[in-house]
Amino acid sequence: MEQPQYLIDTNAIIDYLGKNLPPHGMDFMSDIIDNVPNVSVITKIEVLGFNALINITNFW
């Protein structure tokens, strides 16, 4: 049987990286990320832009 695949949303990635998900959510996302996550090009751009925004905000 084939393992389910998930397309990960930008907000889910940002919340995961910021550790803002509940423990069950963190475990679920860790399992997905460990099994070759599917991330759209748009999501990649948004996450990279979010990280840049955080760095600029912390700079000031």
What is the per-residue pLDDT across 16-34, written as a single tens digit (0 to 9) for each? 988 899 999 999 999 998 8
pTM of the model: 0.74
In a domain, 40, yes or no: yes
Helix, strand, or coil here: 33?
helix
Range of the domain at 29: 10-59
Pair 8, 47: CB distance under 8 Å: no
In a domain, 26, yes or no: yes
Distance in angstroms (rounded) separating the CA atoms of residues 46 and 41: 9
Q: Which of 20, 30, 19 is nearest to 8 (CA)?
A: 30
Summarised one tens digit per residue, pLDDT across range 2-13 is: 778 889 999 999
Please count the structural domains in the chain.
1
Beta bridge partners of 7: 38
Would you say residue 48 has pLDDT above 90?
no
